[in-house]
Amino acid sequence: MSTISQSAVDIQTKRAEIQADIKQILAEFEEVTQQNHDQQHSISRNILLVGLSKSGKTTLRHVLTDPQYVAEELSLQTIVQTVATCDRNIHLASMNVTLNIVELPEHMISENRNLTEINLECSRLGIQDFHIVCFCISFDTGINTRALQSFQRFANHFSEQQVKQNLCIIITGCESKDDTQRDRLRQELINDIEFRPISRHLARGIHFSGALNHDDWKRANTALIDQFETIYNYRKSLLDLIVSDIECFHVPEPEPHPSTSFSKNASSNSLQSDILSLTQPKSSHIGQFDAHRTASSQPHSQNQQLEATTYPMPDVYTTLLPKDRKCKLISRWFRRCA
Ligand SMILES: Nc1nc2c(ncn2[C@@H]2O[C@H](COP(=O)(O)OP(=O)(O)OP(=O)(O)O)[C@@H](O)[C@H]2O)c(=O)[nH]1
Ligand SMILES: [Mg+2]
């Protein structure tokens, strides 16, 4: 056997041994967890994961499901998740809890979007009550202005619903950190000049998470054993929070827009400026979006009201179109309607 294939076999054997050790540790930990959670009835918890792209939301979702999950290899590709996902009925036997986890893509909290899309999406997915909302920040990318601004935007959007009572920050990618490093990270975040003003939105504190490191897995490094113990403890303390007696944060249905159709007698200037405002990167054009949606379902009426069904409104919500192109499309649509 060549030296190369011999070392590949060695790595495979070593990895299998590490895997067996991890399984054994997991079984011991789960036994203790089970003894501490002896409730008879299964409980159900809904979790919302938010954060910038690559902040570790999907990885956290996998780790909550199974702490033995190995992180995917980091890549330089810019492919990002664009749709909300929902994992339902994840049963964790040791805690007798069933989790439903919704993950939102970054663009839903980005500055040129209307955050009411989140309300629509949760309503579409049929999950509107969340016990915990985790805003993920990756240790690798660090605290950055964009992440903090998105956090602020999200917290402001749901301030009326008191999201702060359910909101926590998770610093992901911390599987190899020890106590001292975690304390330092926490202090760095708390003392960050941009973070300080938004920390008041965080009633559920700062937590950590991690996943078995891909490169260590590939090389079958024994460091994986320590990583696993750390990951299990992070996950356990997050799950303890999740199963605690916590009142849900409710994501309300989006408010319906008062006008459901456009009258020909309405001032065309104000109507046009209303419609053009849809293309502006500000936070409250969902009302008009709703008007369009509702108008589509109205029957043709006698007083010659215009119906959006005849001329479907162009998709101005896509981030792919430049703003001036959106304005042109919407103006043309308006002229056709008028
Ligand atoms: N080692 C390790 N890698 C992580 C961790 N969290 C995320 N990663 C890696 O970081 C990259 C991005 O993680 P994802 O979980 O896909 O991030 P995301 O927030 O779901 O990204 P989008 O879905 O595009 O918004 C992947 O390569 C992950 O394997 C972690 O806790 N530990
Ligand atoms: Mg993801």
| Upper half-sphere CA count for residue 227 (Cβ side, 13 Å) | 25
What is the whole-number distance in angstroms between the Cα of residue 288 and the centre of ligand 1? 35
The residue whose CB lies within 8 Å of the most ligand 1 atoms, and thus the one to mutate among 48, 57, 59, is 59
The pLDDT value given to residue 258: 56
Q: Which two tokens stand for residue 202?
A: 């965080």
The pLDDT value given to residue 292: 30
The pLDDT value given to residue 325: 53
Q: What is the dihedral of CA 12, 15, 16, 20, to 10 degrees?
A: 180
Say if residues 252 and 57 touch (Cβ distance below 8 Å).
no
The ligand that comes nearest to the alpha carbon of residue 74 is: 1
Atom of ligand 1 nearest to the CA of 209: 31
Reduced 3-state DSSP string for 14-49? HHHHHHHHHHHHHHHHHHHHHHHCCCCCCEEEEEEE
What is the whole-number distance in angstroms between the Cα of residue 57 and the centre of ligand 2? 5
Q: Which among 167, 148, 245 is positioned nearest to 205, based on CA atoms?
A: 167
Atom of ligand 1 nearest to the CA of 231: 31
The ligand that comes nearest to the alpha carbon of residue 138 is: 1
Pocket of ligand 1 contains residue 172 by CB under 6 Å = yes
CA 283 – CA 286 distance, rounded (Å): 8
User: What pLDDT, in 10s, does the model give residues 93-116?
Assistant: 999 999 999 999 999 998 888 999
What is the whole-number distance in angstroms between the Cα of residue 71 and the centre of ligand 1? 7
Pocket of ligand 1 contains residue 81 by CB under 6 Å = yes
The pLDDT value given to residue 111: 85
User: What pLDDT, in 10s, does the model give residues 7-61?
Assistant: 887 999 999 999 999 999 999 999 999 888 776 788 999 999 999 999 999 999 9
The residue whose CB lies within 8 Å of the most ligand 1 atoms, and thus the one to mutate among 54, 76, 77, is 54
Which domains are assigned to the chain?
A: 3-250 (3.40.50.300), 268-337 (no CATH)
For ligand 1, atom 22, which residue shows the shortest CA distance?
53
For ligand 1, atom 21, which residue shows the shortest CA distance?
54
The pLDDT value given to residue 124: 95
Pocket of ligand 1 contains residue 235 by CB under 6 Å = no
The pLDDT value given to residue 130: 98
The pLDDT value given to residue 237: 96
The pLDDT value given to residue 290: 28
Pocket of ligand 1 contains residue 209 by CB under 6 Å = yes
Pocket of ligand 1 contains residue 106 by CB under 6 Å = yes
User: What pLDDT, in 10s, does the model give residues 240-249?
Assistant: 999 999 999 9
Phi, psi of 169 (to 5 degrees): -105, 140
Pocket of ligand 1 contains residue 85 by CB under 6 Å = no
Mean pLDDT by 10 residues, the chain (338 residues): 72 96 98 83 95 95 98 79 92 95 95 92 96 95 87 93 94 97 92 88 94 97 98 97 95 72 37 36 31 31 36 51 54 54
The pLDDT value given to residue 282: 35
What is the whole-number distance in angstroms between the Cα of residue 138 and the centre of ligand 1? 8
The pLDDT value given to residue 175: 98
